[in-house]
Amino acid sequence: MSTLIKNILRFILFIGIQVFILNQIPPLHQFVVPYLYFLFILWLPFNLPRFPLLVIAFAFGLSLDYFTGTMGLHAAPCVLIAYVKPFLLNLLIPQETTEQSYIEPSLSSMGWAPYSLYVALLTFIHHFYLVLLEWLQFGDFVYFLGKVTATTAISLLLIFVTEMLFSRNAKFRTNQ
């Protein structure tokens, strides 16, 4: 399957899962909201130029916002992690080898430790900004701290499970 079609399918699937499954779960606690949708942005290919990456992330966040009725609340953190993603990848992996030989970030293409750090950092940034936007509207500092830590932990757990369930074998780039 081509990378384009694969990512279009992922776009629809991630929005669907977030809106119709994860958002429907009755909350166990006020802090615990399961977020998984932004994994789509983390899985976008290495060689995607910066500007399309930002636009895709914005469209992705906004389409989730249309379902939840909170215009821009998810779009803003999505754009932020899309902007930070290339910088972080530059820091974490040896450029010449990995980016030229693999298509997208995954456990096997980046290695266990760099990939975990990459996911954990971007997840934290996403939630920090998302909850910050909520917090600026309402203002409750305990809520802010608690929700950032709790949602980051839950998201990391979900991403970990997703990686275990759907292990993507790293594809080498070919010259087609």
Q: Where does this chain bind another protein (CB under 8 A)? A: 20, 23, 25-27, 30, 33, 50-51, 54-55, 58, 61-62, 65-73, 75-76, 79-80, 83, 133-134, 137-138, 140, 143
Shortest distance (Å) from residue 98 CB to another protein: 21
Residue number with CB closer to another protein (74 or 114): 74
Cα–Cα dist 112/123, whole Å: 16
Measured CA to CA, the distance from residue 101 to residue 173 in angstroms comes to 5
- N-to-C CA span, the chain: 13
Q: Which is nearer to another protein, 43 or 144 (CB)?
A: 144
CB of 171 to another protein, least distance (A): 27
CA angle 21, 24, 29 (to 5 degrees): 120
* Nearest to another protein of 9, 167 (CB atom): 9
Q: How many Å apart are CA 155 and CA 126, to the nearest integer?
A: 11
